Chain A
Amino acid sequence: MLKEELRPRSGLETANASEAALRLETALPGFVEEAMRLEQEIIRLFEQLRAPIYEYLVIVFGHPAEAEEIVQDTFLQFYNARRAGQTIDNPKGWLFRVAHNLAINHRKRDKFFDPLDAGDFDELRRLLPDAAPGPEQSLLQREKFARLFAAMKRLSLQEKQCLHLRAEGFRYREIGEILGVSSGAVNEYLRRAMRKLKEQIKEQEND
């Protein structure tokens, strides 16, 4: 539990006794440092991952205020788990999984915001802030988005979740762990999702 590494010693300290004392002096605050280090680790992870987790929750589950609370709660759980001595090999996956589960437990019946609730893409486009990327989308691009929008509306919740998690860079196995399903199931969701997207785009292109 105590830190093994020592601070580089100055050449002046040679006596055995002094050495032992020095060893202890560095080891003790090292323990305190351990706790501080953990705190720093959480803060770093929080700053790095809060945005993608938050975005995932808002896009998939709606309700920004709730999503914000869930993200914070998730990181506190992570801290507690780490402090209890749990080793977490894949923090990003762990955090997404816990946030996902919290969101499911928390889920309100009334979604505050779901872009895919909009009647059509034009309606959705009105909500886009003008300064957002791509306001001057070409007509072609806009048509493509309109088709994708229609296709996204046809996806099941799991299919959407898989697409967004894959876009976040998770492997099929990790997505399975986050959603609590097998990687075979993830493959199947993605297969269907991709087929629906492709069909919709193609079908209308041929119109």
Chain B
Amino acid sequence: MTERHKTEWDERGGHTSEEDLRLYADGELDAQGGALVKAHLEACWSCRVKLDEVQETIADFINFRNQVLRPLVLPPPNNWRGFDSLLGRVTEAAEDRSLWAQFASRISRTFANLRALAASPLAIRFAVGLTLTVAVVAAWIVFNREPVVTAAELLRRGVESQTQKILSVSQPVIHQQIQISRKRGSLAQPETVKLETWNDLNHSRFRQSSGGYDAGSGRYGAGSGSDRTPTEPADMLIMLERIFRENRLDWRRPLSVVSFAEWRKSLRGRNEEIQRSRLADGTEALSLRTISTEPPRPGAILEATLTVRARDWSPFKQTLRVNEEAGAAEYELLETAFEVVSLAGLDPAIFPETQAANLPAATPMGAPSPIASPAPSSAFASASVSLEIETLALLSQARADLGEQVSVERTPEGALRIVGVVETEDRKQELKRALAPALGSPAVRFEIETVEEAMRRASQPAASSPVVIEQRSTSSGALPVEEELRRYLSGQGRGAGPQLDEEINRLAHRTVNSSFNIRQHAQALKRLGERFTPEQWRSFDEAARARLLGLIESQATAIRAQSHELRRSLQPIFKIDEPAIGAGAEIAGAPDLIRAINRLVELSATSDRAIQSAFTLSTEGAPGQFIQTPAFWNAIAGLEQIAGQIQTAAARLRK
């Protein structure tokens, strides 16, 4: 007990303060103080009651934490998958340890032989000395290796290094020069193009120019694409921009750690390795190679390598292996210059105040051309929020709001662009017809193209109707839950042998697809929720608000019905009883609604991952187990419940 406490003690007429009672209860008083309080408590009723009050507050907090806060914590989205392999990679420290293990066992075998021969003590002693020396040296090597950096660490440091550079400049504009080369097939000559970008972070402005393409046309590909030759750099850039967009890479920062990390995060499965190398100028570099283990879809990045300088973690090279129609293509982006400059010191011609349709034709690497505004004629036609909602509703009716193939974007001038790639001309025309009411406005542009058009524009040989829409497939072989499925289906009398296998596959297929569907609906819901700021929500007129809530309601309805269906189909397989799913209380207003949507997205991601890992073959970790836990069944029941709440709330708020 401190001096201060002693004084207070006296002032309180010899009673213990609440603070001391808590310190006493927590065992944080020193021996003397503790003994004093203890003796006093034995004598004093009122202080004993006060101590009970302290304990009661603690109990209240613990109950609240255990019964309210902790059940709200969702299980980790990846269910700790990957940790074993991460640890394995770190501990193995390349092949050193396994080599060492081989060496050790060989030595001990040799000694077993020696002993069998009962060799002379001198020879043994010599061998012992020699081996010990080798062991000590080997141990020294193993323990003095530099710690291996993990992928997460490399990316974090990379992001920090880039952020620091950006923060050190007021009104930062990132200026990058990048040499891009593409190689298709091992025999082909690489094609090369130079790209120069300016990215004005404070004003979200972006300009780009590339060596060898006609900047006067405003945008590559926006002009007449038919007279281009396959080697024209613009085509490569169009292709690459599309690849970036489809793989969640940021085209505005073609060589950035943040963008790489986003892509990496979007992968459902990956293998990774980190390599250390020395560059020609003697500096050390670290490369993170990430290989996607997802089933490859057209246009997907199969693997990517990001190389950073070990000195300052700044990225300077990125390679992408992309699954193109004609086979895998390699893109290499090599940074030739990087600087963060202040907008004040920048050539005003780079970001002219008005969208200049008549920028002087650029010399290679000369003045940049605008890329964000493909059609200057309608640059000033701005779309209202109502029109935006209407467009979203029309897209939703045409079922083009699931997945990320079609989206509605706003240009900096406020016009709406409906962009995307669809499979066939029929579908494109269908969407055009569906969107007709919105397309009447000059502020809405229809920029959806067919895969064939996109390929032609990129001077790619068009292959027979490729499927771009993301699909899932279950591979053949044993699934993690094969046993349960087999038991369940054969119990239902669904045949035996190959017929049963067929049934199992069909059920797995259906489950995985239905779960994926739910997740897509949840993401569509999230996009709707996030699209408008709280201020915009408040400013909606009656009709626009009702329309948006109607969209939300229909997505929630779909999620509720589908997750109900999914849960009911899974319960008997895993012998789970029907849970009591209450209606839950009311969602009061728009902010609550957004929170509920976020929660829904989280739940759908969690349950989808569990289903995905249980019903498909996986290369990582020990999958399939999560589906057997109460957490999974809570997630899937919660999904249904929250979807129901959102549905009800949206219907009510609409009126």
Question: What residues make up the interface of A, taking CB atoms closer than 8 Å to B?
Answer: 1-2, 15-18, 20-22, 24-25, 28-29, 31-32, 35, 38-39, 42-43, 46, 50, 54-55, 58-59, 64-65, 67-69, 71-73, 75-76, 79-80, 83-85, 105-106, 112-113, 115, 117-119, 122-134, 137, 141, 144-145, 148-149, 152, 163-164, 166-167, 171-172, 187, 190-191, 194, 197-198, 201
Contacts and interface: CB of A to CB of B under 8 A. Distances in A.
Contacts of A76: 86-87, 90, 150
Contacts of A128: 68, 71-72
A40 to B, nearest CB: 10
A4 to B, nearest CB: 14
Given A115-B68, A123-B585, A131 B87 contact: no
B152 A80 contact: no
Contacts of B136: 1
- Which of A1, A16, A64, A145 lies at the interface centre, i.e. has the most chain B CB atoms within 10 A of its CB? A64
Given A72-B80, A201-B60, A20 B584 contact: no
12 contacts: A20-B124, A43-B84, A50-B80, A55-B73, A68-B78, A124-B72, A130-B582, A149-B68, A172-B28, A187-B23, A191-B22, A194-B54
Interface of B: 18-19, 22-23, 26-28, 53-54, 57-58, 60-78, 80, 82-84, 86-87, 90-91, 97, 100-101, 104-105, 107-108, 111-112, 114-115, 118-121, 124-125, 128, 131-132, 135-136, 139, 142-143, 147-148, 150, 152-153, 156, 160, 265, 579-582, 584-585, 587-588, 591-592, 595-596, 598-599, 602, 630, 633-635, 637-638, 641-642, 645
A186 B595 CA distance: 32
Contact of A16 (B63, B73, B121, B596): B121
Contacts of B58: 194
A35 B26 CA distance: 39
Contacts of A71: 76
A126 B645 CA distance: 9
Given A59-B69, A122-B585, A129-B635, 19 more contacts: A2-B135, A17-B118, A21-B111, A21-B114, A25-B111, A29-B105, A39-B91, A64-B73, A72-B80, A72-B86, A105-B156, A130-B582, A134-B67, A137-B67, A145-B68, A148-B64, A172-B26, A187-B19, A194-B54
Contacts of B57: 194, 197-198, 201
B123 to A, nearest CB: 9
Contact of B61 (A54, A148, A187): A148
Contacts of B587: 123, 126
Contacts of A133: 66-67, 71
A54 B108 contact: no
Contacts of A15: 118
A64 B602 contact: yes
A165 B60 CA distance: 16
A53 B379 CA distance: 52
B83 A72 contact: yes
B131 A18 contact: no
A128 to B, nearest CB: 6
Contacts of A130: 579-582, 634, 637-638, 641
A18 B82 CA distance: 45
A191 B21 CA distance: 11
A46 B107 contact: no
Contact of B71 (A39, A129, A164): A129
B595 A118 contact: yes
A127 B72 contact: yes
A197 B65 CA distance: 13
Nearest to A193: B61
Contacts of B61: 148, 163, 167, 197
Nearest to A183: B28
Given A24-B128, A163-B61, A43 B87 contact: yes
Contacts of B641: 129-130
Contacts of A50: 80
A8 B551 CA distance: 74
Contacts of B124: 17, 20-21
Nearest to A43: B87
A76 B375 CA distance: 52
A198 B53 contact: yes
Contacts, number: 222
A35 B118 contact: no
Nearest to A22: B115
B69 A131 contact: no
Contacts of A172: 26, 28
Contacts of B84: 43
B156 A106 contact: yes
B530 to A, nearest CB: 10
Nearest to B600: A127
A131 B67 CA distance: 11
Contacts of B54: 194
Contacts of B642: 126-127
B147 A80 contact: yes
A88 B642 CA distance: 45
A165 B67 CA distance: 17
Given A17-B118, A55-B70, A68-B80, A190 B22 contact: yes
A171 B579 contact: no
Contacts of A163: 61
B23 A65 contact: no
Nearest to B62: A167
Contact of B91 (A1, A79, A85, A113): A79
Given A21-B124, A64-B73, A32 B100 contact: yes
A18 B104 contact: no
A38 B87 CA distance: 11
Contact of B77 (A42, A46, A64, A131): A64
B83 A131 contact: no
A150 to B, nearest CB: 11
Nearest to B114: A21
Contacts of B121: 16-17, 20
A112 B602 contact: yes
Nearest to B582: A130
Given A35-B142, A131-B637, A113 B599 contact: yes
B139 A31 contact: yes
Given A20-B125, A130-B581, A133-B67, A112 B634 contact: no
Contacts of A129: 71, 634-635, 637-638, 641
A194 B26 CA distance: 13
A54 B76 contact: yes
A55 B631 CA distance: 14
A67 B76 contact: yes
A12 to B, nearest CB: 12
Contacts of B128: 20-21, 24
A80 B111 CA distance: 33
B177 to A, nearest CB: 31
B595 A117 contact: yes
Contacts of A25: 108, 111-112
Interface centre among A72, A105, A129 (most CB of B within 10 A): A129
Nearest to A166: B26
A174 B431 CA distance: 62
A154 B645 CA distance: 28
